Copies of this chain bind each other. A is one copy, B any other.
């Protein structure tokens, strides 16, 4: 399941939802707001989403991961709104019987979410400027 979170991402809760008694492997990725990006000192960061479409597209990506890889459960949550340095921006977790599927599906979901889910990052920098960030 893909969700948009307007408050802090609860990684522990998401992990509990992803683990499964039948799945021996669990792969996960967390993206954190750091004080430096593309050579600039970041003071704060905001994510904006086209919520309805983001949730649809995010869930399509999760479904694709289930079709492509032998996985048990997969969750992804993306934070929106104003984030502070040290906040978690995105969480992806996948459980599977084998590590290969867990790793590949986790990476697939993260990459596809970054590329396709309508969410945009706006950074504020120490020089007082701010701007919309183009994709890495």
Contact = CB atoms under 8 A, between A and B. Distances in A.
Interface of A: 19, 21-37, 86, 97-99, 102-103, 106-107, 110, 136
B99 A31 contact: yes
A34 B26 contact: no
A26 B32 contact: yes
A24 B33 contact: yes
Number of copies: 2
A97 B103 CA distance: 19
Contacts of A28: 27-30
A19 to B, nearest CB: 7
A31 B27 contact: no
Given A22-B36, A24-B31, A26-B32, 10 more contacts: A21-B34, A22-B34, A23-B32, A25-B30, A25-B32, A28-B30, A29-B99, A98-B136, A99-B110, A103-B106
A97 B38 CA distance: 11
Contact of A35 (B21, B33, B106): B21
